[in-house]
Structure 1
């Protein structure tokens, strides 16, 4: 049986593709997402499939942690998304493997101003780069990005790992850390999703 968080993510990605199948391309990307609706309302939902990149990260031995709504889905959130956000430690020695994984799925990188940058290890040392790939786009962040006073590097050590029968490992931020991230960012969708995650906590369900 597929690990339950993986099953949730596969089903959510399938539903996202189905929902967006009849949409026309609008030109709206990850950075155009509405603060309430999120990236499910952008072109990122068209053909959304995070698994090719997640598999590439695994193949290249990259310790990147899934954050954002993909992590939320893996924890049981019912809201769909059209992007895949990642957090890694920003260590220069780890950048070549991450660059190789991104290049293997034909990802393109962009700086904060939306300018293309090379899919090269040095580009990934910025606090954040945006990426697009045929299956999924999103933000690739390091702890150097301001997180509203949260020490997100600590969340890397507390990350949860899901494994499917084929051996694919996906590391994703813990529910508690994701709730803290959501509340620190504070957009309407973040606060709504933080409340949902809080309601899904074991002590609340019990």
Structure 2
């Protein structure tokens, strides 16, 4: 697995700070993660308030939960300049790995809900669904498995190809490769996904990421 030393995490730290500053300068929207506009994204929701993905990323590392960052947080780590208010994760969906993921979520007081928004107890068996939603004091988002319909994408191979960013303090964050993220963006096909795929595919972003 390819390892990147800290620069992607520094990009993410800086982007999270800008997101919190932006959110503080505006009134609350009353919108949550699932209310995000397909063009603006979660930066336009209350998910941006206090956005800090690092407590959960640190909990994943501490508990040995191998979840891979996808979505716009991964985009930022690859050099995207667009801000976000959510953290989306992809993991292999196996029962053997569910306890570590559940322990990480519990340690940051995360709450789970199914795809309809119905609350669920934060237990390993709940995470075996194709997708669950989570909220925590620092970040909310989707926690997905390869069982979620991804079109023609070979999602297990995407997991296997993930990159690891390492901070000086030893924190390791796994995130999807830029080429795979572009494919995922184009497969989903919302306006924000296509725009962000084009940005990631540009030579300027490629040099940053």
TM-score class normalised by the smaller sequence: over 0.9
Displacement after TM superposition at 1:149 (Å)? 1.7
Q: Name the residue aligned to 2:60.
A: 57
Matched, 1:167 2:170: yes
Displacement after TM superposition at 1:42 (Å)? 0.2
Displacement after TM superposition at 1:131 (Å)? 0.3
Residue 202 to residue 53, structure 1, CA distance change in 2 (3 Å): closer
Displacement after TM superposition at 1:99 (Å)? 0.4
Contact 2:60 2:66 in 1 (8 A): yes
Displacement after TM superposition at 1:103 (Å)? 0.3
Q: Decide which of 73, 95, 100 is 1:70's aligned counterpart.
A: 73
Q: Name the residue aligned to 1:90.
A: 93
Matched, 1:199 2:202: yes
Aligned residues: 204
Displacement after TM superposition at 1:200 (Å)? 3.9
Displacement after TM superposition at 1:201 (Å)? 7.2
Matched, 1:38 2:48: no
CA distance in 1 between partners of 2:205 and 2:88 (Å): 25
Q: Which has the higher contact order (CA 8 A, sep 6+)?
A: 2
Instruction: List 4+ stretches of structure 1 deviating above 3 A.
Output: 200-205
After TM superposition, the score normalised by the length of structure 2 is 0.94
Displacement after TM superposition at 1:148 (Å)? 1.9
Q: Name the residue aligned to 1:182.
A: 185
Displacement after TM superposition at 1:3 (Å)? 1.3
Unpaired runs of 5+ residues, structure 2, are none
CA distance in 2 between partners of 1:164 and 1:203 (Å): 21
Contact 1:68 1:178 in 2 (8 A): yes
* CA RMSD after TM alignment: 1.5
Residue 138 to residue 200, structure 1, CA distance change in 2 (3 Å): farther
Q: Name the residue aligned to 2:149.
A: 146
Q: Decide which of 104, 107, 111 is 2:107's aligned counterpart.
A: 104
- Helix, strand or coil at the partner of 1:93: coil
Which string of whole-angstrom CA distances, capped at 9 and with x for unpartnered residues, describes residues 86-118 of structure 1?
A: 000001010011001000000000001100001
Contact 1:48 1:83 in 2 (8 A): yes
Unpaired runs of 5+ residues, structure 1, are none
Residue 119 to residue 193, structure 1, CA distance change in 2 (3 Å): same
Residue 111 to residue 39, structure 1, CA distance change in 2 (3 Å): same
Residue 12 to residue 204, structure 1, CA distance change in 2 (3 Å): closer
Displacement after TM superposition at 1:151 (Å)? 1.3
Contact 1:76 1:200 in 2 (8 A): no
